[in-house]
Chains A and B, each alone.
Chain A
Amino acid sequence: MEEQKPNDRIHNFKEVPLGFTEEKAIIEANRCLQCAKPLCVEGCPVNINIPEFIKHIKEKNFREAIESIKNFNILPAICGRVCPQEVQCEEKCVLGKRWEPVAIGALERFVADWERNNMLKSCPECMPPNGIKVAIIGCGPASITCAADLAKYGYDVTIFEAFHTGGGVLVYGIPEFRLPKAIVADEIDTLTEMGVKIYYNAIIGKLYSIQDLREMGFKAFFIGVGAGLPMMLRIPGLKLIGVLTANEFLTRANLMKAYSFPDYDTPINIGKVVIVIGGGNVALDSARTALRLGAEKVIIVYRRSEQEMPARREEYHHAKEEGIEFQFLTNPIRFIGDENDNVFQMECIRMKLGEPDESGRRRPIPIENSEFIIDTNTIIVAVGTNANPVLTKSTPELKLNKWGYIETDEDGRTNIEDIFAGGDIVTGSATVISAMGAGRKAAITINKYLLKNK
């Protein structure tokens, strides 16, 4: 696939991969063997009929291709871009055993973009309205999927979103150069066309409690509030100025468009050298955003090795091409500040890998006397998130696990009859597609529940 050249793209926030042309897409589609027992489908969490849609691309029937995908996944333009395909559909593709797997994600993206660019997107058909009100809390991918499915079944759906815009992590986390915000906005528009009402700036647990919503006539609730709370490293120097969480950094940069400062009012200042701590998508996104905001040098410090890095592979390659430095097997032990509490150095220690831990990954162990210091202007901490307690605190009856995430059964039921949940608030930080899968399952369960209680 064509990409923006590293030297150009580090100065802009435009998308990095440019997408397939029609010819390229057809050539790629022709590589697919049309397996009778397609393993790729097993690798996809929502089991898209991959050979079928690829076959339509081969035959230039793009419309059929997109319709086929949409039977399983309503956000193909998004998943085609952000799914970790290398551990899902593409990992299982038989071609991958000896050659490159079929670029399933890129093909999915291609047909979704084809549909949008040719203005062929149509509003999915909905069953006649049944007048039953359902409330969806949060407007991330789990909620969007659940809302769309329920609208198709004919429910009167209202989404309550804390922020002034919809999309959840898709807008405030994942940066523009990986997922253009216009695509997310477009999906939200489709929802409203389907008759879903979206109520912004509505923090459930503050503005309304679930009980208030019950009194307003809502008959069932889906909670998709994500895993918002940033985790902190417990090391000295956390208080220093210039040490920030990835959430704050990315929210300022993405949601509040600090990269267009001063046209947009939200400021951000990072200085010349930026260190990012962590090895996931969040760390890579922060690092690449910092580069685009003008940092001269960006260093990622990760305590395990390259192999254990949970980030999407393509992004890791992109980051390397862009000149991001990686310090693997390195752990921060202390942030060091000047007399005004501005951070200017970070002390680290080298690590080696020991026995595998509960997560199956080899546990990093510090190597004695290997401490060293890196000079820096800004440190961005991207070591994970916890459950956001705002909603769950206001609904004390709701059963949580010991980490504060909502407990549900396989179908999205919580311990309260009319409340369902899915996405990161149930699983902890996961992926867009798994959140969508959970939203879809919950929609089916909610439908059953409401039919029974009619």
Chain B
Amino acid sequence: MDLETPQIAKKAHAGNFIIIRINETGERIPLTIADYDRILGTITIVFQVVGKTTTLLSYLNEGDDILDVAGPLGNAIHIKKYENPVVVIGGGVGIAPAYPQAKELKDAGNKILTIIGARTKNLLFWKDKMASVSDELIICTDDGSEGIKGVVTEPLKKIITEKKVSLVIAIGPLIMMKYVVLTTNGSSGLPKIDTMVSLNPIMVDGTGMCGGCRYLTNTGEVYFACVDGPDVDGHTVDFDNLIKRSMRYKEQEMKSIEHYDHECKAIKKLNKDKNE
């Protein structure tokens, strides 16, 4: 989905996100800026329908307004030319935020090896777009309906065994990022490689004010994903804790949906493949 917001488009960089609120009673939800066009003054968001806000968002038509859009938030990733190739991994909706990072790194002269993965074929998207900024594109699906059958860490292992790699970027579900980090942190017998992950804990303000987005490092330090991230050094993150935290409001989010739509239309839509 493209949003017309020239000022944000002007300032956006890979790694930034926005916070939107659809209506007066709505939640504030964060979404990554997946692409931007400074000339048209637009930014692109890609979202997965998981709950009420994203459902409402999916009902919007071209030309509709969104009540509030605040951004660009978070730190842009550091772009430079690395000595060896960079591996960019996008899992599920994470493919979208991985794209601008691959693009900016490619523009900076890096060799980009991209792996994208999803549960099944029709959840994959932006294959061509990704290919256009990658030197090599590997596709995998859990069920083998397209590309390699298996999870993204399989091709990753292969790459880092065979080649020298300067950096790995992994964006996707927490569990995926956790396993990517386990692959690259030197504990698996494979070489240790710097790994950036993109955290998406529950956020309220996105400006460092509430502390709701805090995450812990393995050594117990506290950081705020919205102002210290969202892209952070994966090797330091306590993923198990983040995974548990992310479930905190599950029960109530379900209530919110039920309240909103007794016929559960929204829930039916939930699994509907959704992109742009």
On whether the beta carbons of A264 and B25 are closer than 8 Å, the reply is: yes
Please encode chain A, from 260 to 280, with 1 for each CB lying within 8 Å of some chain B CB and 0 for all others: 111111111100000000000
- Given known A-B contacts A256-B27, A256-B28, A263-B25, A245 and B212 have beta carbons under 8 A apart: yes
Which residue from chain A places its CB closest to the CB of B56 in the assembled complex?
A265
State in angstroms the CA–CA spacing of A388 and B226 once bound together.
12
CB distance from A51 to the nearest CB of B (A): 41
- Is A444 positioned at the interface, with any CB of B under 8 Å from its CB? no
Please encode chain A, from 312 to 348, with 1 for each CB lying within 8 Å of some chain B CB and 0 for all others: 0000000000000000000000000000110000000
Which of the candidate stretches A27-35, A84-92, A100-108, A228-236 sits at the interface with the other chain? A228-236
Contacts of B27 in A (CB 8 A): 256, 265-266
Please encode chain A, from 225 to 250, with 1 for each CB lying within 8 Å of some chain B CB and 0 for all others: 00011101000001101001101100
- Within 8 Å by CB of A267, from B211, B241, B245, B249, lies B249
CB contact list, B181-201 vs A, under 8 A:
none
B interface, over-half SS: mixed
- Within 8 Å by CB of A269, from B72, B244, B251, lies B251
State in angstroms the CA–CA spacing of A265 and B29 once bound together.
11
- Is A440 positioned at the interface, with any CB of B under 8 Å from its CB? no
On whether the beta carbons of A228 and B207 are closer than 8 Å, the reply is: yes
State in angstroms the CA–CA spacing of A389 and B256 once bound together.
34
On whether the beta carbons of A248 and B25 are closer than 8 Å, the reply is: no
On whether the beta carbons of B222 and A229 are closer than 8 Å, the reply is: no
On whether the beta carbons of A232 and B71 are closer than 8 Å, the reply is: no
Please encode chain A, from 201 to 228, with 1 for each CB lying within 8 Å of some chain B CB and 0 for all others: 1110011100000000000000000001
On whether the beta carbons of A248 and B68 are closer than 8 Å, the reply is: no
Q: How many A-B residue pairs have CB under 8 A?
A: 119
On whether the beta carbons of B251 and A340 are closer than 8 Å, the reply is: no
Interface residues of B, count at CB 8 A: 43
- Given known A-B contacts A200-B68, A208-B7, A256-B28, A269 and B252 have beta carbons under 8 A apart: yes
- Given known A-B contacts A265-B26, A341-B241, A251 and B205 have beta carbons under 8 A apart: yes
Contacts of A257 in B (CB 8 A): 25
- Is A163 positioned at the interface, with any CB of B under 8 Å from its CB? yes
Contacts of A162 in B (CB 8 A): 70, 205, 207
CB distance from B23 to the nearest CB of A (A): 9
- Within 8 Å by CB of B207, from A203, A232, A245, lies A203
Please encode chain A, from 103 to 146, with 1 for each CB lying within 8 Å of some chain B CB and 0 for all others: 00000000000000000000000000000000000000000000
On whether the beta carbons of B210 and A230 are closer than 8 Å, the reply is: yes
State in angstroms the CA–CA spacing of A267 and B253 once bound together.
7
- Is B248 positioned at the interface, with any CB of A under 8 Å from its CB? yes
CB contact list, A171-207 vs B, under 8 A:
200-203, 206-207
On whether the beta carbons of A241 and B244 are closer than 8 Å, the reply is: yes
CB distance from B218 to the nearest CB of A (A): 11
Contacts of A163 in B (CB 8 A): 70, 205
Contacts of B67 in A (CB 8 A): 164
| 5 tightest Cβ-Cβ pairs between the two chains A and B | A267-B252, A245-B211, A201-B70, A262-B259, A248-B210
Interface, chain B (partner A; CB < 8 A): 7-8, 11, 21, 25-28, 52-53, 67-73, 204-205, 207-212, 214, 216, 220, 222, 227, 238, 241, 244-245, 248-249, 251-253, 255-256, 259-260
